[in-house]
Amino acid sequence: MALPAQRSGVLARKLGMTRVFSDEGRHVPVTVLALDGCQVVGHRTEADRAVTTKKGGQVTRNDGYTAVVLGVGEKKAKRTPKAQREQFAKAGVAPKSKVVEFRVKPETTLPELGADVQADHFVPGQKVDVAGVSLGKGFAGAMKRWNFGGMRATHGVSISHRAHGSTGQCQDPGRVFKGKKMAGHYGVVRKTIQNLEIVRTDVERGIILVKGAIPGHEGSFVEIRDAVKKDIHADAPADGSFRVAAAASAPAEDVKSEGAE
């Protein structure tokens, strides 16, 4: 679990990879990420609030932590559980196929429910951490899965050159320990790539270009956060970049985290 950050992260869909050219004429490999209607669907706060029970009574509850709940992607209402439909209705958004909480510090200003996340939440040159589920590669041997060196190519080794070798001990304890690195299913695990650079952003199309490759197949969802090992970029919005749908008639400026309800 990620530690509470100063700003919320972002949910995006991986579209694929391409390249762009820098001002010096060098090509930069980038991964194209689309926000795909990423919206704020809920809050988690430490403040007490009144909750109505099934029997009509009132109880006081709190979440015990501060977080911003974001949703992305489309999902049919009939395939959404009733409790989640009520949560989406309260936020005034359509059901989302992917929902993730981003822990933030208690002093962070929470965006309004239903606000859309803008691509200028991150700025070019900023370092980010991207998390996703890696590609599945089926059953793999120990050399491919764990980078083992294999066995000797001669001196009595026959057929077993790519074997992982002994896995247990002698009579005591005489068993294979749990977690032993062996051949098995490779991939389909959560991976986080740190300190990737934001190359460009397109607010109108909701596109973010990240330098290099990230985990996941095309069409999968990834989480983008401010890099934990680097300082936040000086030009990045302090509370993030969010646009409230109700403010469409206002001047064409993005609303920067106008506050919690």
For 173-186, the pLDDT digits (tens) are: 889 999 999 999 99
Backbone angles phi, psi at 206, to 5 degrees: 65, 45
Neighbouring C-beta atoms of residue 11, cutoff 10 Å: 25
Backbone angles phi, psi at 64, to 5 degrees: 85, 0
Domains defined for the chain, CATH in brackets: 10-47+62-136+189-247 (2.40.30.10), 140-186 (no CATH)
What per-residue confidence (pLDDT) applies to 3? 77
Kindly report which listed range (39-53, 70-84, 217-231, 247-261) carries the lowest average pLDDT score. Answer: 247-261
> Are 16 and 32 a contacting pair, CB within 8 Å?
yes
Q: How confident is the model at residue 246 (pLDDT cuts 50, 70, 90)?
A: low
| Segment 131-170, tens digit of pLDDT | 999 999 999 999 999 999 999 999 999 999 999 999 998 8
- What is the distance between the alpha carbons of residues 201 and 241, in angstroms, rounded to a whole number? 12
120: three-class secondary structure by DSSP: helix
Q: Give the DSSP H/E element, type plus range, for residue 7.
A: none
- What is the distance between the alpha carbons of residues 226 and 94, in angstroms, rounded to a whole number? 27
What per-residue confidence (pLDDT) applies to 258? 47
What per-residue confidence (pLDDT) applies to 4? 85
pTM of the model: 0.82
Residue 59 has pLDDT above 90, yes or no: no
The answer to whether the Cα torsion of 89, 90, 94, 99 is positive or negative is negative
Tokens of 150: 């294999």
